[in-house]
Amino acid sequence: MHKFEIYKDKAGEFRVRFKYNSEIMFSTEGYKSKASAQNAIDSIKKNGPEAPVEDISVA
């Protein structure tokens, strides 16, 4: 199961994390409002599927 979670960090900011099978895959920067955190989720859902993968690792 995968899901987005909005939570408050120790500084009182809202963050978003994405979990897959209870493992945190990524988390966002802190946001001052819960609405901004929700906007981040909406943006990821809208733009993520079409985003290219750019491998900038050194071979």
Q: Return d(Cα 23, Cα 18) in angstroms, integer.
A: 8
Evaluate whether 33 touches 12 at the Cβ level (below 8 Å): no
Nearest to 4 by CA among 40, 35, 33: 40
CA Rg value for the chain:
13
Query: Tell me, what's the pLDDT at 10?
Result: 96
pTM score of the predicted model: 0.83
Q: What is the DSSP letter of 31?
A: B
Which CATH number among 3.40.50.80, 3.40.50.2300, 3.30.160.160, 3.40.50.1000 corresponds to the domain 2-47?
3.30.160.160
Q: Measured in whole angstroms, how far is the alpha carbon of residue 39 from the centre of its chain?
A: 10
Name the stretches of the chain with pLDDT < 70: 59
